[in-house]
Amino acid sequence: MFNRLSKFIAVSILLAFAAPAGAAFNILACEPEWGALTQELGGDKVSVYNATNAFQDPHHIQAKPSLLARARNADMLVCTGSQLEIGWLPVLLRQSGNPKIQPGQPGNFEAARFVRMLEVPTRLDRADGDVHPGGNPHIQTDPRNIALVAAGLAKQLAQADPANAAWYQSRYQDFSARWQIALARWEKEAATLKDMPIVVQHKGFPYLEAWLGLKQVATLEPKPGVEPSSSHLAEVLERLQHQPARMVLRAAYNDGRSSDWLAERGKIPAVVLPFTVGGSEQAKDLFGLFDDTLQRLLAAAK
Amino acid sequence: MYKRKIIASGIIMMLGVPLSAIAADSAEIQQIRKEIEALKQGYEARIQALEQRLKNTELAASSAENHAVHAETAASQMAALPAPGTPTDSANAFNPAVSLILSGLYSNHSLDPAAYQLTGFHLPSAVMGDLQPQRGFSLAESELGIYASIDPMFFGGLNFAIHPDNTVSTEEAFIQTTGLQQGLTVKAGRFFSGIGYLNEQHAHVWDFVDAPLAYQAFLGGQFNNDGLQVRWLAPTDTYLEIGAEVGRGANYPGTGRDKNGAGASALFAHLGGDVGISNSWRAGVSLLTTAPQDREWDDTNPEGTAVTNAFSGNSKLWMADAVWKWAPNGNAYNTNFKLQGEYLRRVEDGSLVYDLNGVAGPGSYSATQSGWYLQGVYQFAPYWRAGLRTERLDSGSADYGVNNAFLSRLVYRPARQSLMLDYNPSEFSRIRLQFARDKSAQGATDNQIFLQYQMSLGAHGAHKY
User: Tell me: the pLDDT tens digits for A264-289?
Assistant: 999 999 999 999 999 999 999 999 99
Nearest CA-CA partner of B449 in B210, B204, B198: B210
Q: Is the reported ipTM for this assembly greater than 0.90?
A: no
- The DSSP result for B103-133, as a single string, is EEEEEEESS-GGG---TT----HHHHHHH--
Q: Does B86 or A26 have the greater pLDDT score? A: A26
Which residue type, as a one-letter code, is found at position A66? S
Q: Which pLDDT score is estimated for B48? A: 85
Q: Which residues contact B83 (CB under 8 A, 6 or more apart)?
A: A116
User: Quick check: A10 contacting B, CB < 8 Å?
Assistant: no
In B, which residues are within 8 Å of A13 by CB distance?
Answer: 234
- Of the candidates A77, A85, A30, the one whose C-alpha atom is nearest the C-alpha of residue A53 is A30
Give the pLDDT confidence score for residue B24 in this predicted structure: 55
**Cβ–Cβ under 8 Å, residues B76 and A144:** yes
pLDDT tens digit at each of 465 positions of chain B: 556 656 655 565 555 455 455 555 688 889 998 888 988 888 888 888 888 888 877 776 666 666 655 556 555 555 556 555 445 565 546 788 899 999 999 999 999 988 888 888 889 988 988 888 889 999 999 999 999 999 889 999 999 999 988 999 999 999 999 978 889 999 999 999 999 999 999 999 999 999 999 999 999 999 999 999 999 999 999 999 999 999 999 989 988 778 888 889 999 999 999 999 999 999 999 999 999 999 998 888 888 888 899 999 999 999 999 999 999 999 999 999 999 999 999 999 999 998 888 888 888 999 999 999 999 999 999 999 999 999 999 988 888 888 888 887 778 899 999 999 999 998 899 999 999 999 998 888 999 999 999 999 988 777 788
Residues in CB range of B19: below 8 A, 6 or more apart:
B26
What is the per-residue pLDDT for A20? 45
User: What distance in Å separates residue A137's CA from the closest CA in chain B?
Assistant: 12
pLDDT, tens digit, 9 for 90 and up, residues A59-72: 889 999 999 999 99
pLDDT single digits (tens) B294-333: 999 888 888 888 889 999 999 999 999 999 999 999 999 9
Binned at pLDDT 50, 70 and 90, residue A143 comes out as very high
Please say whether the beta carbons of A247 and A272 come within 8 A. Answer: no
Q: What is the pLDDT of residue B86?
A: 46
Instruction: Give residue B194's Cα distance to chain centre.
Output: 14
pLDDT reported for residue A18: 45
Q: What is the DSSP letter of A112?
A: G
* Contact criterion met (CB below 8 Å) for B461 and B145: yes
Residues 14-43 of A with CB under 8 A from B: 15-16, 19, 21
Q: What is the mean pLDDT of chain A?
A: 91
> Are the Cβ atoms of B240 and A134 closer than 8 angstroms?
no
| B64 burial level (CB within 10 Å; 0-12, 13-18, 19+) | exposed
**pLDDT score of B133:** 87
- Cβ atoms within 10 A of the Cβ of B18, count? 7
Give the ranges where B114-204 is alpha helix by DSSP (H).
125-131
pLDDT per residue as tens digits for the range A55-114:
999 888 999 999 999 999 999 999 999 999 998 999 999 999 899 999 999 999 999 999
Residue type, B198: L
Among the partner residues A65, A93, A102, nearest to B282 by beta-carbon distance: A65
A206: contact with B, CB 8 A cutoff: no
Q: Which of residues 225-254 of A touch B (CB under 8 A)?
A: 225-227, 253
Which of A94, A185, A211, A223 has the most B C-beta neighbours within 10 Å, making it the best mutation to test the interface with B?
Answer: A94
Q: Using a CB-CB distance cutoff of 8 angstroms, which residues of chain B are in contact with residue A95?
A: 185, 231, 233, 464
- In this predicted model, which residue has the larger pLDDT, A199 or B464? A199
Evaluate the CA torsion angle A84, A88, A91, A97 in order and state its sign: negative
The answer to whether the Cβ–Cβ distance between A12 and B234 falls below 8 Å is yes
pLDDT digits (tens, 9 = 90+) for A113-135: 999 999 999 888 888 888 888 89
pTM, whole model, 2 decimals? 0.82
Alpha helices for A99-164 (secondary structure H): 143-160
Confidence band, pLDDT 50/70/90 cuts, at residue A45: very high
Q: Name every chain B residue with its beta carbon within 8 A of the beta carbon of A102.
A: 152, 178-179
Cα separation, B249 vs B316, in Å, equals 13
